[in-house]
Amino acid sequence: MAMLFTRRWIPPTQRRVARYLMDNPTDGVFLSSVELASRAGVSQATVTRLATSVGFKGYTDFQRRLRVMAMNRHAPATARSRNKLQAAVRAEIHNLSALEAIVADTRLIGKIGQNLAASQPLVVMGVRMASYAASYFAYFSAKVHPDVRVVTFGGSSGLDQLSQARQAGATWLLGFLFPRYPREALLLLEHARSSGMKTVVCTDRVPGLAADYADIALPVAVGRRLVFDSHAGVVVLANVLLEALSDANPVRTQQRLEEYERMVTDRDVFVPNRDSQP
């Protein structure tokens, strides 16, 4: 049943219904749409929308399929005993295992690192919920790259930032694109490519959206077991790309890291780590 609800992205309100059904598979599948809505704490319309979101014509077809699933459950006892939080962590472990296989292609990752390192300025883009990933990457990449420009808003402001970066010499953009796939992010990617920049896009939609907006698409799954998506794989992939960026120009990386350490020491930026002292 979990596969039915995680193979496609569904909004948080509908996930509450899905979670109720996964937690109560024996009873939940025999409830009417009104009863199920009441148990899950949502509207009847939300229950109906969930049915169509996962590929059914309506609630009746959806319920029929759920009943078959409930009667044919053969999950191992250990899997059945996991609570929803453990199941979410287990799903992210699976996502990380898939990412491990992808980054085994060190030639591809190394080439991406070289391209990002050579782009001056380097543009990093992520809007709405993906803005955290862009900001995370930009914060650390600025330690080893001389000119990193982060774009976290769409509209005319974001387009202006891209145009200015291109005029300054930017050749590559690193983008993060995840559900619910903001149109403004696609417009930014489209503008970047039309202006002459190449794009690396980290996304869970490969093939799909990325195929139309990316010169290189890096697939990374997001967790869909909880009310809001979890992004363990995204953070790890960002760190993999940071490593590739650093390795692409080791001399510059070392020089900039040493300069940074001198600066934070002189300014007394961080609290001393007393645990490391004898």
pLDDT at 210 over 80: no
CATH number at residue 183: 3.40.50.10490
pLDDT digits (tens, 9 = 90+) for 170-180: 999 999 998 88
Residue 107 shares a structural domain with residue 40? no
Do 74 and 96 lie in one domain? The reply is no
Greatest mean pLDDT among 111-120, 212-221, 222-231 lies in 111-120
pLDDT of residue 20: 85
| 69 falls within a domain | yes
DSSP annotation of 54 reads T
Tell me, yes or no, whether 106 and 77 share the same domain: no
Q: Residue 278's pLDDT is what?
A: 42
The amino acid present at 138, given as its one-letter code, is A
In a domain, 169, yes or no: yes
Distance CA 216, CA 214 (A): 5
124 & 244 share domain: yes
Q: What is the pLDDT of residue 63?
A: 86
pLDDT band at 271 (very low <50, low <70, confident <90, very high): confident
Q: Are the C-beta atoms of residues 185 and 158 closer than 8 Å to each other? A: no
Q: Is 271 part of any domain?
A: no
Q: What is d(CA 259, CA 176) in angstroms, rounded to the nearest whole number?
A: 29
* Average pLDDT, integer, range 189-213: 86
Residues 144 and 248 in one domain: yes
DSSP 136-151: HHHHHHTTTSS-EEEE
CA dihedral 95, 101, 107, 109 (to 10 degrees): 10
Residue 277 has a pLDDT of 46
Q: Which domain holds residue 19?
A: 2-81
HSE on the CB side for 25, CA within 13 Å? Answer: 16
Domain assignment present for residue 273? The answer is: no
In the chain, how many domains are there? Answer: 2
